[in-house]
């Protein structure tokens, strides 16, 4: 299993998953993290720019943990068999650990034309 975590600043879980270009990828075997590596995408490979498929460095992920994403990306990930998780947790390692232990607090699924991020619920639709 592979879990991707948005982390544009390389320290915390960041928002705007669609525009994020830096991800921590956690390899998980038998419920335990077996590896962690940084993946950096070009702007053309970002989730926002690549509407039809994931960039090669993100291929094979099962879960995407982020601080915020819009409903279009949420639905696209779901249709691709990837679990999108929006959380208030800011520490990537803690989020993955909590996810594996089924303890990660998740924000509600984004709906309509609104971007769902920590403390930010209006992006685009007015």
Read off the CATH number of the domain in which 82 is found: 3.30.420.130
Rg (CA), the chain: 13
Q: Is residue 26 part of a domain?
A: yes
Decide: 64 and 85 in contact? Cβ < 8 Å: yes
Q: Is residue 25 part of a domain?
A: yes
Q: Is residue 37 part of a domain?
A: yes
- Number of domains the chain contains: 1
Q: Is residue 125 part of a domain?
A: no
The candidate with the shortest Cα–Cα distance to 68, out of 40, 36, 108, is 108
The pLDDT value recorded for residue 51 is 74
29-59 burial string, b = 16+ CB within 10 Å, else e? Answer: eeeeeeeeeebebeeebbbbebeeebbebbe
The pLDDT value recorded for residue 52 is 74
Q: Is the pLDDT of residue 121 over 50?
A: no
Q: Is residue 124 part of a domain?
A: no
What residue numbers bound the domain in which 7 lies? 2-117
């Amino acid at each position: 299993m592979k879990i991707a975590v948005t982390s544009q600043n390389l320290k915390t879980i960041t928002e705007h998953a669609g525009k994020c270009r830096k991800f921590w990828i956690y390899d998980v075997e038998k419920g335990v993290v077996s590896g962690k590596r940084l993946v950096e995408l070009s702007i053309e490979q970002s989730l926002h720019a690549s509407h039809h498929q994931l960039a090669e460095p993100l291929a094979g992920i099962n879960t995407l943990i982020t601080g915020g994403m819009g409903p279009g990306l949420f639905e696209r990930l779901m249709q691709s068999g990837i679990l999108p998780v929006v959380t208030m947790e800011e520490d990537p390692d803690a989020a993955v650990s909590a996810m594996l232990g089924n303890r990660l607090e998740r924000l509600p699924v984004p709906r309509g034309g609104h971007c769902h991020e920590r403390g930010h619920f209006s992006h685009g639709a007015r």
